[in-house]
Amino acid sequence: MTFIHLTRSCLILACIFWWGDSSKGTEVGPEKGSLFIVGGGKFSDELVERFFELAGGKDASIVVVPTAGGAPKYGESSGDFFRKKGATNVSVLHTHDRKLANTEAFCEPLKSAKAVWFGGGRQWRLVDAYKGTLVEKMFHDVLARGGVIGGSSAGATIQGSYLARGDTRNNQIMMGDHEEGLGFLKNTAIDQHVIARNRHFDLLNVIRKQPELLGLGVDENTAIEVKGDQFVVRGASYALVYDGQFWSREGVDLKQFPEKESLFYFLKEGDRYDLKERKVISRSK
């Protein structure tokens, strides 16, 4: 076997070790493609660059969905954030008309998209516009082709199966009149701005009532990058995990804990988590 073949084989084995082999199917994350779940606020060029990498480069087709923002109309300028960062193939998809969202013509940009990005606002607006429509199916098709779905703030929460802060009256109501997200991550509830806005206890309200759910909180300028049933934390702050357990770099033997229903813990840049097994699987130093 040549050196090139050996190197290629080693790279394949390394990828399987790092992310796990999803060829047998997944239970929580997407079977193909990746998710890039950002906790809101201003985020770094490094996170933007990573999103581009997952999409296949700055020339990849990116579809921006600003609907959560609530405006009646959005023009192509809604994609300028990524254009200013170097993206060359950005289109904007927006409607509040579910009939339109069920048409092939409206969905045309998604047919060749390598990436979808959900902007911030109120996540229930995305549900009202797209849940159960052809658009939603084609979001999943982007993943099935190996693409990436990303989003920040409301665009993070919408990716879970349970829609935290989905009430139309007030975003402080954790379990409201909209409770179903787009479900790119199954059996999960996702919150955002968790440390910047002192929200780190809020997801406990959801988990106590639906303990089968995995709670994930992501702070500003931070992302969890999901492939298969694993994620890695990227960015400057922390991701919080609500799985009824506790984890610490310094061990847990001498710690005193509240009841199980009140536990959560923090993961930082480079930390990895197994969504299926619900456990930390590596540690950064």
**Token representation of residue 237:** 């702050």
Beta bridge partners, 223, equal 38, 234
Q: What is the dihedral of CA 45, 17, 232, 284, to 10 degrees?
A: -90
Encoded amino acid at 165, one letter:
R
- Domains (range + CATH), the chain: 26-248+255-282 (3.40.50.880)
260 contact partners, CB below 8 Å, separation of at least 6: 244
pTM of the predicted model, to two decimals?
0.90
96 contact partners, CB below 8 Å, separation of at least 6: 67, 72, 125, 128, 129
Q: How confident is the model over 189-244, as pLDDT tens digits?
A: 999 999 999 999 999 999 999 999 999 999 999 999 999 999 999 999 999 999 99
185 Ramachandran zone, left/alpha/beta (phi>0; psi -120 to 50):
beta
3-state secondary structure of 114: coil
Q: How confident is the model over 30-54, as pLDDT tens digits?
A: 999 999 999 999 999 999 999 999 9
Inter-residue contact 102 to 90 (CB < 8 Å): no
